[in-house]
Structure 1
Amino acid sequence: MISDPSSKYRPFPPIDLPDRRWPSRQIAAAPIWLSTDLRDGNQALFEPMNRERKLQLFDELVRIGFKEIEVGFPAASQIDFDVVRTLIEGRRIPDDVVPMVMTQAREDLIVRSFEALRGASRAIVHMYNATAPVWRRVVFGMTVPEVMQLIERHVSLVRQLADAHPETEWVLQYSPETFCATELPVALEACNTAIRAWDAGPGRPIIINLPTTVEGATPNVFADQIEWMDRRLERREHVVLSVHPHNDRGTGVACAELALMAGAQRVEGCLFGNGERSGNVDLVTLALNLYTQGIAPGLDFSDIAGVARVAESCTGLPIHPRHPYAGDLVFTAFSGSHQDAIRKGFAAQSADGFWEVPYLPIDPKDLGRTYDSIVRVNSQSGKGGIAFLLERDRGVTMPRRMQVEFSAVVQAHADASEAEVGSDELWSLFAATYLAPGEAVYRSHRLFDAPHGQQGIDIEIATGAGRRALRGFGNGPIDAAVNALGLPLRVDSYEERALDVSAQAQALAIVEAATPGIAGTRFGAGRHANIVTASILAVLAAGARLGLLCAVTAEEASVV
């Protein structure tokens, strides 16, 4: 039993912001995106990426459309240093993409970072230091004034080194690490100290990046923190306000979305939420959340499976099958009620209307996914999903009562096999249940005109002893076939349709029939290029499923 947490964990205090505005705002445009897959994501791997995988992932990030990419921590890693040099010397960075490198507020690390960026046409230097009370007290043993002096001194060094290399267009990014756990007045003082030391102004912007280094509160608290800072930062028109949410409480995406409502202009994160501990904010989910609201994210996930495979290959981390948008099962319904709603939604969806298919928040085709796996059948599935697969893959449209009947057949099979029922297996079950009984006894037939405007039919069927000839009359082929059998078979409904639209299309006939002494009805189906033949096959199948053909086929055959 977990002990009472109130004596061990301190609740996060609310932010004094009674006139907060973010709750009434909506996100109207995509933020500036910064991928930190090559730095934050890389340092969180069991085995950090080697040079080749880093370059492969960089190329993929460029292809997706990222314009700012944190390419590493070159002062702390020789591989990162070499990758940065390869990118610059090999002219592998497109003109519209800006690389960023990270460094702690330490003189030797800052100098080394500028060495790595030598020759870049544009670059962001990301400097950070922790500012929260526990870090000040326990990790660094520094007072607040000492922290401010450290920031001023090291930002001034960054400015001095940048001014010494005017051939590069430099931008400073400053992060008060542990911002979300820092007293807001202290965080504000740290950021304004960096703004002044960098001398932000026209042609000299600064990025102020506010991280939820470790999530410690609900997303609304983070939004309050961002709005509080947004209102008070100095030289605000020259500041790009950025956020870097982590996912320790599982609310990284929510933090980012509310932060954008609160004034943030830029978001840092990783593909599929990779990163320290529970990860960084998932930029794929965040971007596609915007997409489902009609907002162009500026990132290309039209081949989501391809992006996922590159990310898995480079990081060695699998993507969960239930991962939003990208997981292998996120567009798959096993539940019967879900399947039925999806089937009806597809039938009603217009090509030029708003997307309104139940249970599918986004059109899978927009992500390069097909509709093939949307409905899959197991023991939890219902008639809607089964009908959807047969209609999509085989062109079979079953009447509703037939859907109910066949779903019981499929469920019994799935329960026995304890496995998913694939589309081919589903068709085999359908054929064995509805087509095979008629095909097993039918051999041939001949129609002829009978007196009084009736239809005559001669049918040959198979028996245990050979073939048997039957003759009947009726007001049409089906009625004549029933009369030829000489059995109490009542046909309640009949439907016919083509299985495809080609010139060689087979006809499918479906008959619903009943007989005295047996509760309910049974369905039979027949398929043939000739619709009359298909209809006779369906009648024979329905009769066989009602047990009525046993007496007919057991009689001594009359040789034809």
Structure 2
Amino acid sequence: MTTTTPHDRADTTAVPHWNRQRPSGMPSHRYRAAHDRVELPLTERRWPTARLAQAPLWVPVDLRDGNQALPEPMSPASKRRFFELMVAMGYREIEVGYPSASQADFDFVRLLATERIAPDDTAIVVFTAARRDLIERTVAAIEGIPNPVVIHVYTATAPIWRDTVLRTTRETLTDLVLRAADDVLELAGDRPNVRFEFSPEVFNLAEPDFALDLCDRVTGRWEASPDRPVILNLPATVEIASPNVYADQIEYMHRNLTRRESVILSVHPHNDRGTGIACAELAVLAGAQRVEGCIFGNGERTGNVDIATLALNLHAQGVDPMIDFSDIDDIRRVVEECTGIAVHARHPYAGDLVYTAFSGTHQDAIGKGFAEHRERAEALGVDQRSIDWRVPYLPIDPADVGRSYEGVVRVNSQSGKGGVAFLLEQTTGIVLEPGERVAFARIVQAHAEKTGTELDGSTLARLYAEHLDSGR
């Protein structure tokens, strides 16, 4: 892989003296670059020229991975409410808990067995470490569930985990994983509704040859076939490298797995570097078919990958996300109430302010874009929602996710004549003449600067009545 060093860049003497960087004094020398920790086995790669043409299989892990990251884990009622939300959104595979780790998780899995709240075609995923007693407890939890069930077995595989946490060798760890694979096969292999999943945890920090060998051995033990594929989940458990590195790792596995046609290749990115979404998107380009994450990115440390953003990124590119986000405010409300964590106002697609413009230049462009969109629809004699969307500064139509247009333009002291006119028209139906726009914008700006507050539609209507209405 080619990297760029300061020596490859233009001569720094051309940089203005006030903008030349100075050493920060931070102890950066204590950390190793990702390229020193991760082997990059590809010499040529195909993912850079691939295109996202369809949605991957989505698996929300909010009830397990997300729940174990909460200061106060969800109550049984909250878990059930969250589960029912995910079913209503259209998820066909949902990770529901770690039944061998807590009684609460065990009881929730039993609830799914006894009350049958999951549709028949919704797969239930249960999570367990690679240890026989924990696998036994997991199998006991799923007893009687009629749905498809995925038993997800994991163990850490990276050198620092082997050396520091597990105090074991590659050979010993391989034996442990294969014993666990045999245990799963013995305890649940004869159940026609059960499928298997394996995660070499911290895959992104493990040696590629070791991860590949371990996965091939597991799929061999479980007799993976096209009719009964095995899920191999490759987690970026702690994100340590740029997304292209993860894509290379996924493509290496995709191209070298012995039983590739009998494997569903899955990824589970975290967001420690803030690039979990990019990692997931590039991983799908590199051959991944399935993505595990949380709806709004909840999870340990900086969180799991954000499925809502991933799905709506596809929507914005003309690809059906296969999950229903048409009422994103209701989805957000349920998630916030169940987790106790607020979604940020600038969160992609779901935040309160992501479709809102305060700046005059942005408002002017949005207002003109809406007008052009309306005129195109009228000229064609069709509904506005049936034609291509191309409004500046708005990647998607807010109506697609259940938002109204009322909050798209909001007025404060930074706003211009276009934004003021747009909001006045949206809230009162009053259309300002070109000559009125400048005069009224000055009145509004003076009021906003005097009060230091945002102005709503009723305030604009009052100011209009006081200053301009009598002149019409």
Instruction: Tell whether the structures are fold-level matches, with TM greater than 0.5.
Output: yes
Equivalent in the alignment of 1:426: 460
Structure 1, unmatched stretches of 5+, are: 439-524, 527-560
- Indicate yes or no: 2:160 matched with 1:134: yes
Q: Distance in 1 between matches of 2:143 and 2:59?
A: 21
> Which one of the candidate residues 16, 19, 25 is aligned to 1:3?
25
Superposed displacement of residue 399, structure 1? 2.6
Does the aligned pair in 1 maintain the 2:112–2:145 contact within 8 Å? no
Deviation per residue, 1:287-329 (Å, 9 max, x gap):
0000011111110010000100000111111111111111111
RMSD: 1.2
After TM superposition, give the deviation of residue 91 of structure 1 in Å.
1.1
Distance in 1 of aligned mates of 2:27 and 2:232:
35
2:41–2:208 Cα contact (<8 Å) kept: no
Partner of 1:305: 329
**Counterpart residue number, 2:169:** 143
Cα distance in 2 between the residues matched to 1:266 and 1:169: 19
2:67 is matched with which residue? 42
Deviations 1:52-104 (A, max 9, x none): 10011000000001111000000011011111101111111111100001001
CA distance in 2, matches of 1:61, 1:361: 25
Whether the 8 Å CA contact 1:151–1:193 is kept in 2: the answer is no
CA distance in 2, matches of 1:360, 1:288: 13
Q: Is the 8 A contact 1:12 1:216 kept in 2?
A: yes
Question: Which structure is higher in RCO with an 8 Å CA cutoff and minimum separation 6?
Answer: 2
Bigger Rg over Cα? 1
Matched residue of 1:271: which SS? coil
CA distance in 2 between counterparts of 1:254 and 1:262 reads: 12
**Range with greater deviation from structure 2 (12-21 or 340-349):** 12-21
How many equivalent pairs are there? 436
Give, in whole Å, the separation in 2 of the partners of 1:417 and 1:275: 41
2:133 to 102, 108, 116: 108
Aligned residue for 2:380? none
Flag the structure with higher helix content. Answer: 2
2:372 corresponds to 1:338 = no
Contact 1:200/1:206, CA 8 A, preserved across alignment: yes
Q: How do 1:50-449 residues align onto structure 2 when only pairs under 5 Å count?
A: 50-121=75-146, 122-164=148-190, 166=191, 168-349=192-373, 350=377, 351=384, 352-435=386-469, 438=470
Classify the secondary structure of the residue corresponding to 1:264.
Answer: coil
Structure 2 SS opposite 1:200: coil
Shift of residue 189, structure 1, vs aligned partner: 1.4
Q: 5+ residue gaps in structure 2?
A: 1-22, 378-383
Residue 4 of structure 1: CA displacement? 4.8
- Aligned with 1:176: secondary structure? strand
- Shift in Å at residue 202 of structure 1? 4.0
The structural deviation recorded for 1:353 is: 2.5
3-state secondary structure, aligned to 2:321: coil
Please give the per-residue CA displacement for 1:233-270, whole angstroms capped at 9, x wherever unaligned: 12110100000011111111111100010000000000
Q: Which moved more, 1:11-20 or 1:177-186?
A: 11-20
Write the distance in 2 (CA, Å) between the matches of 1:316 and 1:6. Answer: 35
Distance in 2 separating the partners of 1:257 and 1:12: 20
Shift of residue 192, structure 1, vs aligned partner: 1.2
Counterpart of 2:48? 23
Q: Counterpart of 1:224 in structure 2: which amino acid?
A: D
Write the distance in 2 (CA, Å) between the matches of 1:198 and 1:145.
19
Q: Percent identity?
A: 53
State whether residues 440 and 468 of structure 2, in contact with CA within 8 Å, keep that contact through their aligned partners in structure 1: no
Q: Secondary structure at 2:235's aligned position in 1?
A: strand
Aligned to 1:12: 34
Q: Distance in 2 between matches of 1:336 and 1:190?
A: 58
1:557 corresponds to which residue? none
User: Aligned-pair distance for 1:406?
Assistant: 1.5
Partner secondary structure for residue 296 of structure 2: helix
Shift of 1:157: 0.5
